[in-house]
Amino acid sequence: MMGVVGVLWGVFTPVLCFSASRLDNRVDLQKQISKILADAALKNVSIGIQVHSLKTDESVFSYHGTDLLKPASNMKLVTTLAALKYLGPQYRFKTKLYTDGRIKNGMLQGNLYVKGFGDPLLVSEQLWYLVNDVKRLGFREVQGDLILDDSFFDTIRTVRDGDSSTQNGKDRAYDAPLGALSVNFNTTAIYVYPGAKVGKRAVVVVDPDNTYVKVINRSKTLRNSAAMTLEVSREVGKTHKAPNDTIVVTGGIPLDHTGKRFYRNISQPLFYAATLFRRFLKEQGLIVRGRDQFKVVPSSAKELWVYESRPLREVVGDLNKISNNFVAEQILKTMAAELKQPPGSTDKGLEILQEFLKEVGVQDRVQLVNGSGLSSENLMSAAQLVEVLKYGYRHFGLFPEYMSSMGIVGVDGTVGSRLHQTVAQGRVRAKTGSLFGVSALSGYLSTLDNETLAFSMIMNDPQDRTELLQSTQDKILLELCELK
């Protein structure tokens, strides 16, 4: 009998020792993170932290985890997971071409309609492919008009922000207008290079070249090594017969500078899209004789061609790694149109997110203003975001795409420059969130013991000390990664 007891004791003793060791490590972790948060510099910072083991399904650390705070772009973790669930990782955004006429003798005898269905990544390269496909349909001339239809979304183009103080300028690319038919994120790129010699105008190049964007160049070339003083702004587009936006370039660029790129949004997406469609059609030898119009495709029109985007699983990767507000809001409105009938709207999209959060298990109050986080009025807790992350982890059909959409600490995305050559490099997949006075970081990490944790850290600081907040987050990440 004693022999049996001895055998059993020999079997169970290591388990008991491991359990005690794990408990000690958890206690040490609590002490270390509490010490980090005791920094006097954080006295007036509102902080919510929640860390959960996905291996043992237990809380690892919590600090004001249920406090409602401003999550900034961590909202995108909710929007993208909901989109993967409801639209599916294989979902593709469509752009459809129709006509009310017929093709005869190389001519389209009628109008050419283009209808957008929310594609957030319809950029110049994709537009070229689309037009190249159209070239094979058998016509080189459109005798009628070019008619654009963006009725899949509502007519509200601005991102619902809730607080204009979060933006430094309405022409910034991160605050581009929305639209079911949008090209190049509804932005334009402006490249500025030094002129031939000091005192000469700088060289300004608009990409893609188009007739919608005009340029007023008041910039100058400065002496070598002089301070860069370039300013690039976009004046509100006009509404007369030929609408356009004007890029105004002022200041100076040193003669020995290699050049600088600026992104600015445009104010009228449909006019911008029409210009670019005409440009790419012309480059492929396709001429539209009529004028530009903007109205709904008639039910009698025949479908000519359907262009499909890359699958959603790739789109969310582009979105989360670089934190693209435009893509997030386009996806929100697309969900609204697909699940609750067109036109897609922010209100319908937010209803879907609320329904999704209930399914995830979030019962406490949240305050949602938009799907990108571009608002100081969005409110969520770290614990609620961890519930979202737990849901993503538990659903294999969503998890690989969801996790891979996040930046890899020390490697790429918005966390690519953080914690290089530390234990955290390559071990953490995370989404950042930044607004004035807000720094958030949420995602997944693998400890040295290969335990997967879901974590969320939301920090709201009235003094907007971004470096302090990110440094605090990084210290905590290191402690979590070294957990055994």
Q: In this structure, are 452 and 324 located in the same domain?
A: yes
- Reduced to 3 states, what is the DSSP secondary structure of residue 163? coil
Q: 162: which 2 tokens?
A: 């809730």
Mean pLDDT of 395-406: 98
Q: Does 223 fall in a domain?
A: yes
Q: What share of the chain has pLDDT > 90, as a percent?
A: 89
Q: In this structure, are 301 and 236 located in the same domain?
A: no
CB 91 within 8 A of CB 308: no
Q: How many domains does the chain have?
A: 3
Q: Does 82 fall in a domain?
A: yes
Q: In this structure, are 124 and 63 located in the same domain?
A: no
CB 90 within 8 A of CB 312: yes
Q: Does 245 fall in a domain?
A: yes
Question: First CA to last CA across the chain, in angstroms?
Answer: 37
Q: Does 28 fall in a domain?
A: no
Per-residue pLDDT reduced to its tens digit, 223-239: 999 999 999 999 986 65
Cis (ω within 30 of 0) for the bond into 343?
yes
Q: In this structure, are 321 and 305 located in the same domain?
A: no
Q: What is the pLDDT of residue 240?
A: 59
Instruction: Identify the domain containing residue 240 by its residue range.
Output: 164-265
Per-residue pLDDT reduced to its tens digit, 320-370: 999 999 999 999 999 999 999 999 999 999 999 999 999 999 989 999 999
Degrees to nearest 5, angle at CA 432 with 426 and 435: 160
Mean pLDDT of 113-121: 98
Active-site hit among 70, 76, 220, 333: 76
Q: In this structure, are 471 and 423 located in the same domain?
A: yes
- Strand pairing category for 112-116 and 94-99: antiparallel
Q: What is the mean pLDDT of the chain?
A: 93
Residue 323 annotated in active site: yes
Residue 404, pLDDT above cutoff 80: yes
If one compares 210 and 164, the residue with the highest pLDDT of the two is 210
Q: In this structure, are 369 and 417 located in the same domain?
A: yes
Q: What is the pLDDT of residue 9?
A: 34
Q: In this structure, are 321 and 425 located in the same domain?
A: yes
Q: Does 158 fall in a domain?
A: no
Q: Does 32 fall in a domain?
A: no
Q: In this structure, are 442 and 348 located in the same domain?
A: yes
Q: What is the DSSP letter of 184?
A: G
Q: In this structure, are 294 and 357 located in the same domain?
A: no
Residue 165, pLDDT above cutoff 60: no
Mean pLDDT of 211-227: 96
CB 156 within 8 A of CB 350: no
Q: What is the pLDDT of residue 11?
A: 38
Domain finish residue from 285, 312, 339: 312
If one compares 477 and 162, the residue with the highest pLDDT of the two is 477
Active-site hit among 70, 73, 219, 442: 73
Q: In this structure, are 188 and 59 located in the same domain?
A: no
Q: Does 146 fall in a domain?
A: yes
Mean pLDDT of 62-88: 98
Residue 14, pLDDT above cutoff 80: no
Expressed in percent and rounded to 5, the helix, strand and coil fractions of the chain are 35, 25, 40
Domain finish residue from 277, 294, 312: 312
Residue 76 annotated in active site: yes
Q: What is the pLDDT of residue 474?
A: 98
Residue 24, pLDDT above cutoff 80: no
Domain finish residue from 248, 265, 282: 265
Closest CA to 383 of 293, 454, 312: 454
Q: What is the pLDDT of residue 273?
A: 97
CATH number at residue 278: 3.50.80.20
Q: In this structure, are 181 and 107 located in the same domain?
A: no
Per-residue pLDDT reduced to its tens digit, 272-323: 999 999 999 999 999 999 999 999 999 999 999 999 999 999 999 999 999 9
Q: Does 5 fall in a domain?
A: no
Q: In this structure, are 237 and 276 located in the same domain?
A: no
CATH number at residue 435: 3.40.710.10
Residue 169, pLDDT above cutoff 80: no
Active-site hit among 219, 267, 309, 323: 323
Reported as type and span, the H/E element at residue 54 is: none
Residue 225 annotated in active site: no
Q: Phi, psi (5° rounding) for residue 322? A: -105, 0
